[in-house]
Amino acid sequence: MSDLPRKAVIRTAKLAALPLGFAGRTALGLGKRIGGRPAEMIAAELQQRTAEQLFATLGQLKGGAMKLGQALSVFESALPEQIAGPYRTALTKLQEAAPPMPTKSVHAALVQRLGKDWRDLFQEFDDRPSAAASIGQVHRAVWHDGRAVAVKLQYPGAGEALLSDLTQLSRFAKLLGPLVPGMDIKPLIAELRDRVSEELDYELEARAQRAHAQEFAGDADVTVPGVVHQSDQVLVTEWMEGVPLSEVIAHGTQEQRDRAGQLLARFLFCGAARTGLLHGDPHPGNFRLLTADAPDGPPEKWRLGVLDFGTVDRLPQGLPVEIGTALRLTLEGQADAVHELLCAEGFVKPGIELDPGAVLDYLMPIIEPAQVAEFTFTRDWMRGQAARIADPRSPAYQLARQLNLPPAYLLIHRVTMSTIGVLCQLGATVRLREEMEAWMPGFAADSRTQDTPA
C-alpha cells in the first residue's frame, strides 16, 4: 500500500472526477425536481453529497489537495447557513487528520533519513501517528534524553504531489468558487503553489520555529515548542499537550471561546512584531489551548500553543506600516488620504479611476471590528460581508473587481482573512482594536505624524 498516492495519473483522475461529480449531481437534482421532489430537500441533499465527495477526496490525497481543503476550511463561516452544516463537518475533519502512512513506510522513511540505527535516538517511538496533514504526519515519541517529543515525518513524494495537485485544481478553480462566496479561489491556489518549496524545507521551518520558541519562552499568553532535532524531511520538536482549537470551536463555553479568540488575535499581530515572521497557516489544527494544571482550568489562565511553521512571511519590520496607516485613516474618514495610499502601494493600478468616497464606503464595513473597543465575530457577520462582496448588483462587488492585491500582501491578506474566519467560527468577543494599537505599526493615534501621505 502506498503511503501517499503519488502517481500523477491516479491523482489527476481523482481530482478530475470532482467537477464531473458536481455536474452529475446537478443533473440528478434536475431530474428529481421534475419528478416532484421539493427543491429545498433536493438542494440540501446535493450539498451534503458534494461536501462529502469534495473533502473526502481532498483529505485522501493529502498533498496540495488537502492543503487547499485546509485553507478553505477557515472560511466555512462565510457559507450560507442552509448549506453550512454539511461542509462544516467535512471541513473540520481536514483540520486535524488525514489517512496515515502504513507503519512499514514510516520505518523505511526513518531508516533513509535518520540512519539504520534511528531507534537509538529514541527511548520510545509510537508507530501510530498522532496527527496527519497535507505533507507529513506526526508521531509521539520519547527522545533519548527523556523528553517527550513530536516527530514530524514528510511523506515520500510530497513535493511532486503538492505541485501536481495545485496545477490540476487551478484548472477548475471556478467550480470551487461557490464554496466561499466573495472569494476568488484561483489566486489562493497560485499563492499556495508559490509557497510549496518553503513548506517542504524542514530546515527553514526549524529556523522559524526556533525564532518563535525563543521569543515566546516564558510568555504568559503564547507557547511554541522548541526544536530538538532537524534533518532532511524529519523535524523533532518538544511535545505539547493541549486542547485542540477545533474542540473549543465545537464545544467551548463562551468564556473559553472569548479567551481563545483574544489569544489568536494577539498572536496574529504580536507574532510578526516580535519575531519579524508571520505564521502563515492559521487553521484550527495548528493551535492548542494550554489549560494550566487541569483540562478545565480557568480560561483567563489559558495560553495559546502554536504549531507548524512551514509557511511564514518574512517581515523584518513587522506588518507593513502602510496597512496600519490605511486602516487608521479609514477610521478617521480621510477618504482622499486612503485613496492616495492605496494607489501608492499598488492596490489601485495606474489608469484605474475610483471615487475616494466609494473606496471608504467599501472598506468601512470590513474594518468594523476595529471601530469599537470589543467586537463579537459571528458567522452572520462573515456571511454578510461575503454576500456584500459576492453580489454582482452591489457597489462593493463592482469596486472590488477594480482593486488589486499586490504580491507582497498576498500572504498577509490570507492570514488575516483566515484568522478572522476562525474568530467567526469561535463566535468570540475580542478586543481587536487593543491588539492593533499595541502591535500594528501606523495604526495607533500617536503614529500619525510619521505616516500620513503628503
Question: pLDDT for 396-420, tens place per residue?
Answer: 888 988 888 888 888 898 899 889 9
Instruction: Provide the total of helices (H) and of strands (E) in the chain, helices listed first.
Output: 20, 13
pLDDT of residue 6: 47
Helix, coil or strand: residue 227:
strand
pLDDT of residue 291: 86
Task: Examine the pLDDT at 308 and tell me if it is beyond 70.
Answer: yes
Distance CA 198, CA 205 (A): 8
Distance CA 381, CA 80 (A): 11
pLDDT of residue 80: 59
pLDDT of residue 22: 46
Q: How confident is the model at residue 213 (pLDDT cuts 50, 70, 90)?
A: very high
Higher-pLDDT residue of 317 and 63 is 317
Highest mean pLDDT among 64-68, 291-295, 388-392, 448-452: 388-392
Distance CA 336, CA 357 (A): 8
Least confident of 169-178, 253-262, 330-339: 169-178
pLDDT of residue 2: 43
Distance CA 427, CA 187 (A): 28
Task: Examine the pLDDT at 442 and tell me if it is beyond 60.
Answer: yes
Task: Examine the pLDDT at 74 and tell me if it is beyond 70.
Answer: no
Return the closest-CA partner of residue 285 out of 308, 312, 269.
Answer: 308
pLDDT of residue 281: 87
β strands within 245-307, DSSP E: 277-279, 287-290, 303-306
Least confident of 3-12, 163-172, 260-269, 295-304: 3-12
Task: Fill in the amino acid letter for 175.
Answer: L
Higher-pLDDT residue of 1 and 441 is 441
Task: Examine the pLDDT at 355 and tell me if it is beyond 90.
Answer: yes
pLDDT of residue 138: 93
Distance CA 452, CA 447 (A): 9
Task: Examine the pLDDT at 20 and tell me if it is beyond 50.
Answer: no
Higher-pLDDT residue of 179 and 184 is 184
pLDDT of residue 24: 44
Helix, coil or strand: residue 288:
strand
Q: pLDDT per residue over 77-99, tens digit each?
A: 656 555 555 555 555 555 444 56
Q: pLDDT per residue over 376-400, tens digit each?
A: 999 899 888 888 887 878 888 889 8
Distance CA 329, CA 443 (A): 9
